[in-house]
Homo-oligomer: A and B are copies of this chain.
Amino acid sequence: MWLKNTWYVACTRKELDALGDRPLGRTICHEKMALFTGSDSQVAALEDFCPHRGAPLSLGRVCNGHLQCGYHGLQMGVDGKTVEMPMQRVRSFPPIRAFPVTERYGFVWVWPGNAAQADVALLPTLDFLEHPDWAYGGGLYHVQADYRLMIDNLMDLTHETYVHANSIGQPELEETPSTTSVENGQVITQRHLSGIQAPPFWQMAMRAQGLDHQASVDRWQICRFTPPSHVMIDVGVALAGHGGFHAPSHLKAYSVVVDFITPETETSHWYHWGMARNFKPKDTELTQQIRTGQGRIFGEDMEMLQRQQSNLSHWPERRLLSLNIDAGGVKARRLIEQHIAKESRELEL
């Protein structure tokens, strides 16, 4: 179904901060968690279950770096061991599960599997998310569909013509075939268009880069899936004939669509979406404008995915087609299955 010994995005630092001294309750890979910021601004993720009477710790408050249960005041440490409780000796209280958790690129990452294997070296490298020449804006959707339907969606952008007909769909995209490969544990589906007119969004970006927005361009979409469920999409344009994606920086404008897809249950997931761009990075108004537009467009996918899930649940025995345009999603699922099989073998040893 999904990988467990891996890092998933649980939330953003901003989401946590917005709650003040309240923790955040979130279910990830079926694990109910309470996320909060402990002492020294260290983020923690605990099973959302007070060992005293089973109350959800996420209804409590953060208190001196501990999570205080909102029912009878038990204080839980970031390691899942009870620290104190009024008038009680807590040493023999059963510990609750503490999930490995770390923070990077503005996101909080949790490891829902075997804590002994958690290793921050396994976090994805996404330097552009903290590079000063780049700006980032994004949001979160809760989607009632298997997380793999979102991967399928992002690894086949031909759907833009139909789902996003009124926003970003373009006939040229559909008419150009894509190629899919698996390299270094990544699935890459890419489409390159040559000598076309830039669409409005990219004309705007070209002007911001000091380029002639009327010039003929080469355009690319490079979707990169990495396990467990991240999809980064390089999108951009370069003056025609200079190498497209590989053109020198001053001849192109580009950005990265960032998608962190976190399973919640078999039929629901958390969808953290955003866009990182390297043009006009200080323009916060532009960041907000892009974020609003992207949020609206990604919202259009939600009804489709949720109704697709409902159909697949209704007809569980039906086999789907795997066309060339589906290669990205199909290979991504295969990679996930290989990793899950590897996890199972490790468990048996």
Number of copies: 3
Asked if B70 contacts A311 (CB within 8 A), the reply is no
Most central of A49, A53, A175 by chain B CB within 10 Å: A53
- A32 x B73 contact (CB < 8 A): no
Of B53, B71, B163, B321, which contacts A71 at CB under 8 A? B163
Q: CA separation between A121 and B227, bound complex, in Å?
A: 59
Q: Is A158 an interface residue (CB 8 A)?
A: yes
Of A54, A69, A308, A312, chain B has the most CB atoms within 10 Å of the CB of: A54
Whether A325 sits at the interface, judged by CB under 8 Å, is yes
CB-CB contacts of A47-59 with B at 8 A, as 1s and 0s? 0110111111001
Taking CB atoms, residues of chain B closer than 8 Å to A192 are none
* Complex contact A71–B32 (CB within 8 A): no
Known: A32-B311, A156-B72. A88 touches B323 (CB 8 A): yes
B-chain residues with CB within 8 Å of residue A177 when the two chains form the complex: 87
A51 to B51, CA, bound (A): 49
**Any chain B CB within 8 A of the CB of A105?**
no
A201 touches B (CB below 8 Å): no
Which residue on B lies nearest to A314, using beta carbons?
B32
CB-CB < 8 A to A307: which residues of B?
55-56, 59
Of residues 139 to 180 in A, which have CB atoms within 8 Å of B's CB atoms? 152, 156, 158-159, 161-163, 174-175, 177
Tell me if A84 is interfacial: C-beta within 8 Å of chain B.
no
B174 engages A86 (CB within 8 Å): yes
Flag if B304 contacts A72 (CB, 8 Å): no
Please provide the chain A residues from 179 to 236 with a CB less than 8 Å away from any CB of chain B in the complex: none
| A152 and B87 contact, CB distance less than 8 A | no
Which chain B residues border A162 with CB–CB below 8 Å? Answer: 60, 68-73
Tell me which of B52, B60, B321 contacts A51 (CB under 8 A): B321
Interfacial chain B residues near A175, Cβ < 8 Å: 86-87
Give the distance to chain B from A217, nearest Cβ to Cβ, in Å: 22
A318 adjacent to chain B (CB < 8 Å): yes
* Assembled-state Cα–Cα distance A122/B239 (Å): 67
> At the interface, yes or no: A133 with Cβ under 8 Å from chain B?
no
Looking at the assembled complex, report how far the CB atom of A146 sits from the nearest CB atom of chain B, in whole angstroms: 11
Residues of B with C-beta under 8 A to A69? 162
Q: A59-B303, A321-B93 are in contact. Are A311 and B159 (CB under 8 A)?
A: no
Contact with B along A86-124 (1 / 0, CB 8 A): 111000011000000000000000000000000000000
Known: A158-B86, A303-B59. A48 touches B323 (CB 8 A): no
Q: Is A347 interfacial (CB 8 A cutoff)?
A: no
Question: Can you pick out 11 interface pairs between chain A and chain B where the beta carbons lie within 8 Å of each other?
Answer: A53-B308, A53-B326, A54-B311, A54-B318, A55-B311, A69-B162, A72-B158, A86-B161, A86-B175, A87-B174, A88-B325
- Taking A48-B311, A51-B321, A71-B304 as known contacts, 9 extra A-B pairs with beta carbons closer than 8 A to each other, sorted by chain A number, are A54-B312, A59-B303, A59-B307, A85-B323, A86-B161, A86-B174, A86-B175, A87-B175, A87-B324
Where the two chains meet, the residues of A that have a C-beta atom closer than 8 Å to any C-beta of B are: 32, 48-49, 51-56, 59-60, 68-73, 85-88, 93-94, 152, 156, 158-159, 161-163, 174-175, 177, 303-304, 307-308, 310-312, 314-315, 318, 320-321, 323-326
